[in-house]
Structure 1
Amino acid sequence: MAIVLLVSCESHYVPKPKGYNRIEMSPSVFRAMPDSFPYLFEYPTSAEIVKDGSWISERYWIDLHYPAYNADIQVTYKPVKQDRAVLEELLKDSYKLTSEHGVKAYSIDESVVKLPNGMSATLMELSGEVPSQFQFHVTDSTEHFLRCALYFKSSTENDSLRPVIDHIKMDMVHMLNTLEWNN
């Protein structure tokens, strides 16, 4: 006598919800810039100083490269030399570079902040699928002009990168708060 047992394995497919990349971040630890630059600030130990890779070769232009995040803070410096026309041109270029992201940006929020050293800096935060999400420029209006911009070398969408963007943005604010001119 044979008994046939029919068992139905019914499984209910439930799609997984959309997820985000898991990004491990530890609190930033900072170190001082080498004193061979006309600007000095503390930058994170998770970043390394590399020569600027742009087609323009300027002596004090560097990238602070974050290998773990495939991100760079592009640091550009120009002497003003007490020339008001030079300063105006540098400020115009800084705003122009930021506004070029307006094609993809939902918004560009600009704010002026007072730094502990008495200087003022202009911060620009860009929203949307833009290549640079945070930028700033600062000047003493007579001798120095410094501009920094965050860029990712990744096609990952900015909403997935938001924790890293916020983390590096805080590093950039720390850089500003520790900025000194090395005359």
Structure 2
Amino acid sequence: MKKLIFLIFLGSLFSCGDEVQPKPNAYLSLDYPDAEYSTYLDENCPYSFEKNSIATVAPSRAGNECWVNIEYRDLKGTIFITYQPVRNNLDSLLTDAQKLPLQHTIKADAIEGSVYTNDFHNTYGMFYQVEGNAASQAQFYLTDSTRHFLTGSVYFEVQPNFDSILPAAAYLKEDIKHLMETVEWKDGMQD
């Protein structure tokens, strides 16, 4: 019996010739298609912009005709667009738009604001990039300072976990920047 136990022990030492090696870290592979843009234009609204072809535009549930949701079903994210006419209320519109990113400071690790200016399209505003487990990862506003005011913010349909949504958030931030660069106001039209 001792010989049998010794042979089993000896066999187990030599039978496993490969050393145990730790496995390398795995990385989540998320491939998003290259963005292809087309113009979104609603004849009843005083603005247009270019949107990514993987997104669909739906009317906002808020009921305002010129408020739209740009939905990215595969990314489980939405860019919410709101429009307001400027009627001697530019200061209050700016104050509200600038307060919105600050509502995320409790969960955000950082909020970076970038001034946006496009003299060619007469659009001026701010782009806010939010880092951390905040509900919204990016927000912006655009205005011509006299007649039009457009805001947007991105939200995901999942509980905020910055590490998990980082690739999708980065993809949507690029789409928001493209949207901002392509906003055009319709002359002679005000909501």
Instruction: Identify whether the pair has TM-score above 0.5, normalized to the shorter chain.
Output: yes
Residues 97/138 of structure 1: CA separation in 2 closer, same or farther (3 Å cut):
same
- 1:90 corresponds to: 93
Return the match for 1:121 from 121, 125, 141.
125
* Aligned-pair CA distance for 1:146: 0.2
In structure 2, distance between residues paired with 1:146 and 1:20: 37
In structure 2, distance between residues paired with 1:156 and 1:119: 31
Return the match for 1:31 from 26, 38, 43.
38
In structure 1, distance between residues paired with 2:48 and 2:29: 33
Consecutive unaligned residues in structure 2, runs of 5 or more: none
Deviations 1:96-129 (A, max 9, x none): 2211101111221112122242432211111111
Pairs within 5 Å for 1:11-22? 12=20, 14=22, 17=25, 19-22=26-29
Bigger shift: residues 114-123 or 138-147: 114-123
Return the match for 1:171 from 166, 172, 175.
175
2:103 maps to 1:100: yes
Residues 20/155 of structure 1: CA separation in 2 closer, same or farther (3 Å cut):
farther
Runs of 4+, deviation exceeding 4 Å = none
2:159 maps to 1:148: no
Identity of aligned residues (%): 29
| Secondary structure in 2 matching 1:130 | coil
- 1:161 corresponds to: 165
TM-score (norm 2): 0.82
Residues 21/157 of structure 1: CA separation in 2 closer, same or farther (3 Å cut):
farther
Q: What letter corresponds to residue 48 of structure 1 in structure 2?
A: T
The answer to whether the 8 A contact 1:21-1:160 is kept is no
TM-score (norm 1): 0.85
Aligned length: 175
Quick check: which has more Rg, 1 or 2? 2
Aligned-residue RMSD, C-alpha: 2.1
Consecutive unaligned residues in structure 1, runs of 5 or more: none
In structure 2, distance between residues paired with 1:173 and 1:28: 12
In structure 2, distance between residues paired with 1:174 and 1:47: 13
